[in-house]
Structure 1
Amino acid sequence: MSTFKLLYFAAASTYTGRDHDDFPAPVKASELFALLEDRYPGITHKVLTTCAVTVNYDYVDLEEADAALVLGQGDEVALIPPVSSG
């Protein structure tokens, strides 16, 4: 089965209780947040609205992502919540 890996950091890891998940591929990048909301109800409001997203180490804006952007076999996606410093 083809999969991509989704890495969780900080608040995303706390919310899911995991540091990563493997999801079936392919998936349109624009559908990622809906997929996560199905698996972790409430994550959109609590975490995703403030997260940056990377695909294979490149930042992407899922709201402006090209409709052709597909998460495929072996891709690594990361959810990176904002980091505060003090």
Structure 2
Amino acid sequence: MLEQPTPAKTAGNFTIHYFASASSFTSKDTEMLPAPMRLLELFPALEEKYPGIKDMVLYSCGVSLDGEYVNAEADDGVLIGCGAEVAIIPPVSSG
């Protein structure tokens, strides 16, 4: 069976998921952003869209790209492609 193209794949977007403090700061759980985007450009793009998010939220968050943790501030040439899934994950604690 062939996979049908989803709107995210055909529209040239990727999905970004916000959790906990990131969700509270943006007032969103999920949104679409234009793809492709260099991973290194993600935090500046979010800071432009949500002023203050970098210092108040992102500094302590992990980022995953298609289920794998990545360093969003490393210049390693990683592209967030069309249809990708990015998650902004604040630190979790156990007790």
Q: TM-score, normalised by structure 2?
A: 0.85
- Partner-residue secondary structure (3-state), 1:73: coil
Q: Which residue of 1 aligns with 2:90?
A: 81
Return the letter of the residue paired with 1:18. K
The runs of at least 4 aligned residues of structure 1 exceeding 2 Å deviation read none
Counterpart among 60, 68, 72 of residue 81 in structure 2: 72
Counterpart among 11, 17, 32 of residue 7 in structure 1: 17
Name the CA shift for 1:45/1:33 in 2 (closer, same or farther; >3 Å). same
Higher relative contact order (CA 8 A, sep 6+): 1
- Partner-residue secondary structure (3-state), 2:32: strand
Shift of 1:62: 1.8
Return the letter of the residue paired with 2:83. G
Q: TM-score, normalised by structure 1?
A: 0.93
Counterpart among 19, 37, 47 of residue 47 in structure 2: 37
Ranges in structure 2 where 5+ consecutive residues have no aligned partner? 1-10
Q: Which residue of 1 aligns with 2:6?
A: none
Ranges in structure 1 where 5+ consecutive residues have no aligned partner? none
Q: Number of matched residues?
A: 85
